[in-house]
Amino acid sequence: MNFWERLYLPAIFQGMGITFRHMFKKKETVFYPEVQREFSENWRGMHSLKRDEQGRERCTACGLCALSCPAEAITMIAAERQKGEEQLYREEKYAAVYEINMLRCIFCGLCEEACPKEAIYLDGPIVPADYLRKDFIYGKDKLVEEPMKLS
Amino acid sequence: MSEKVKVTIDGITVEVEPGTSILNAARQIGGDIVPPAMCYYSKLEGSGGKCRTCLVKVSKGSEKDPRPMPKLVASCRTGVMDGMEVQNITSPEVIEARKGVVEILLINHPLDCPVCDQAGECHLQDLSFEHGVADTRYEFERRTFERIDIGDKIQLHMNRCILCYRCVYTADQITEGRVHGVLGRGDASEISTYIEKAIDNDFSGNVIDVCPVGALTDKTFRFKNRVWFTKPVDAHRDCPKCKGKVTLWYKGEEVLRVTGRKDQFGEVEDFICNTCRFETKNTSDWVIEGPRHIAHTSVISANHYEIAPTPVIKKNQVLIEANKIEFDRATKV
């Protein structure tokens, strides 16, 4: 090692130079959740239970999503549609309780593929973090799509 | 007894009593070569010959008269002859004909399997999965009916009925006074109880078990759960009316429904009475025998355990015990 190398100063400035150069480069990170990255086409996020053109729930509680689920995250209780509820539910049977345990879910999308009624899609955002296990069991209040607004 | 006759089905020879039907001869061999049957029911006298799904080709009539039969024959209605040669799955003609039969059966049958309680143990579902085409060529309106209550425990969905007449024969033979029959003819025929008269017979619930589709369903089980989420367990009780040998379908601790024990051909071993079927739905009413055997091809076999899994380390007593506890937990509903 010669005198200049032993001084370490050129090496320090070279390192500083690299650091300063990065201050003017475009940032790779985004400030989630204020800024959201664009999802890819085949992104699978939070589930949503769909409604049909008339705003009726499509799910008929056939249980095929729960059967196909490799993580056994889905449970449901079926109920019979009563007279006067034709505006709410599409078929004569509907899911009175529909729960997905988001801690169990592996977002594989098999439920979406199994659904014969096109009722469930994993087209939502990233499932948010929470503190309690019980809060990760999402019921129909969180899963069912908002009814269409009358324009 | 007279001499046995030899019959060859798909190249497999079997010796049966004379007078046996081809279908029953095939059932004695078992396996894939058994023709499917929607209307024939071995426990019901006179059943069969209606649905045509069991069509087979007889390529050699008998030893004495080796000419083939001119058309495909219904195997449930055709007796065997000595030296008869039958083709079932080895004949493309039969497969093609069966496909057509399934299409005809599905003409008026609604595709409401997601709603239907029979889904998962429906013979028509199996049949259309195996032979059917995805589309229908039928362009007209399917016939539709209102749901009818037959008594307070049985519900009739005439939409789904394929007119196999099994329930009519059941009502005829198991029960004494028949209040159940078929009205109308051809396309207009429908199952009826003569002005919705309730069946009061003790064995009327068996029409649910014999129905190959979801036309007659248990009202007490209606929309309770899908069959593949329930666990079938064999059980018996001392019943003054019937043999009391049943299958209980558990969900958790609760018995959701009680049925007869169905064999590999989907036929009940013994008919059970209505008390066993509808009124005794507590575990305390029954003596549990063990998990029911379910074919691995059935959707009901998902998460259904029948034998204790082999221990990881066979000699480790702790692990053997742990496995037993785990198995008990899995099977004890």
According to the 3-state scheme, what is the secondary structure of B247-295? Answer: EEEEECCEEEEEEECECCCCCECCCCCHHHHHHCCCHHHCEEEEECCCC
Tell me if A67 and B225 make a contact (CB, 8 A cut-off).
no
Whether pLDDT at A33 is above 50? yes
Both tokens assigned to B116: 């239907």
Mean pLDDT of B181-198: 69
Domains and CATH numbers, chain A: 48-143 (3.30.70.3270)
Mean pLDDT, range B210-223, rounded to an integer: 92
Per-residue model confidence as pLDDT tens digits over B78-88: 999 999 999 99
Q: Which residue of A has its CA nearest to B226?
A: A63
Locus of tokens 């049909």: A52
**pTM of the predicted structure, to 2 decimals:** 0.82
Chain A residues in contact with B225 by the CB 8 A cut-off are 63, 78
Mutate to test the interface with B, among A64, A74, A120 (most CBs of B within 10 A): A64
The answer to whether the CB atoms of B228 and A67 lie below 8 A apart is yes
Asked if the Cβ–Cβ distance from B299 to A91 is below 8 Å, we say: no
- pLDDT value at residue B302: 83
Residue B198 above 60 pLDDT? no
Q: Tell me the three state secondary structure of residue A75.
A: strand
Cβ contacts (< 8 Å) between B119 and chain A: which residues?
62
Highest mean pLDDT among B19-23, B44-48, B320-324: B19-23
pLDDT of residue B179: 63
Q: Each residue of B309-323: pLDDT tens digit?
A: 665 666 777 877 887
What's residue B133's pLDDT? 80
- List of E strands, chain B: 5-9, 12-16, 55-60, 73-74, 84-87, 148-150, 154-156, 181-183, 190-192, 216-218, 231-236, 245-251, 254-260, 287-291
For residue A93, the SS3 value is strand
CA distance A72 to chain B (A): 11
DSSP 8-state secondary structure symbol assigned to residue A51: B
From CA B154, how far away is CA B215, in angstroms rounded? 10
The answer, yes or no, to whether residue B194 has pLDDT greater than 80, is no
Chain A: residue whose CA lies nearest to B117: A62
pLDDT of residue B205: 87
Mean per-residue pLDDT for B250-265? 91
pLDDT at A28 (0 to 100): 87
Least confidently predicted of A73-82, B28-37, B130-139, B189-198: B189-198
The neighbouring-strand residues paired with A74 are: A100
The dihedral of CA A123, A125, A126, A132: what is its sign? negative
Q: Which of A66, A79, A117 sits opposite B114 (nearest CB)?
A: A117
Task: Report percent pLDDT > 90 for chain A.
Answer: 68
Q: Strand B55-60 and strand B84-87: pairing?
A: antiparallel
Contacts of B112 in chain A (CB under 8 A): 91
A119: chain B residues, CB-CB within 8 Å: none
Residue B39 near residue B47 (C-beta atoms within 8 A): yes
Taking only the tens place, the pLDDT of each residue in B102-132 is 999 998 898 889 999 999 999 999 999 988 8
Helices (H), chain A: 3-7, 9-23, 64-68, 110-114, 140-143
B70–A contact, CB cutoff 8 A: no
pLDDT score, position B188: 78
Q: Give the C-alpha separation, B11 to A150, whole Å.
A: 68
pLDDT tens readout for residues A138-151: 999 999 988 876 65
Q: Which pLDDT score, from 0 to 100, does residue B115 have?
A: 92
Cβ-defined contact of A67 to B226 (cutoff 8 Å): yes
The pLDDT of residue B73 is 94
Burial of B206 per CB tally in 10 Å (0-12, 13-18, 19+) = buried
How many whole angstroms separate alpha carbon B187 and alpha carbon B143?
Answer: 9
Residue B39 is predicted with a pLDDT of 92
Provide the mean pLDDT of chain B.
Answer: 87
Q: What tens digit of pLDDT does each residue of B142-156 get? A: 888 888 888 788 888
Q: What is the ipTM of this complex?
A: 0.77
**Look-up of token digits 């057509």:** B100
- Count the Cβ atoms, other than its own, within 10 Å of residue A67: 19
Give the C-alpha distances (Å, rounded to integers) separating B81 from A76, B1, B7, B60, B71: 54, 16, 7, 10, 17
CB A82: neighbour CB atoms within 10 A? 10
- What is the chain B residue with the closest CA to A69? B302
Can you give the pLDDT at residue A4? 78
Q: How far apart, in Å, are the Cα atoms of A109 and each of A43, A95, A122, B63, B77?
A: 10, 20, 7, 59, 48
The answer to whether A140 contacts chain B (CB < 8 Å) is no
Q: For residues B304 and B293, give the distance between their C-alpha atoms in angstroms, rounded to a whole number.
A: 9
Give the confidence band of B290 by pLDDT, cuts at 50, 70, 90: confident
Residues of B in contact with A66 (CB under 8 A): 229
Take residue B90 and report the two structure tokens written for it: 């080895």
Note the pLDDT of residue B195: 44
Interface contact flag, A92 B115, Cβ < 8 Å:
yes
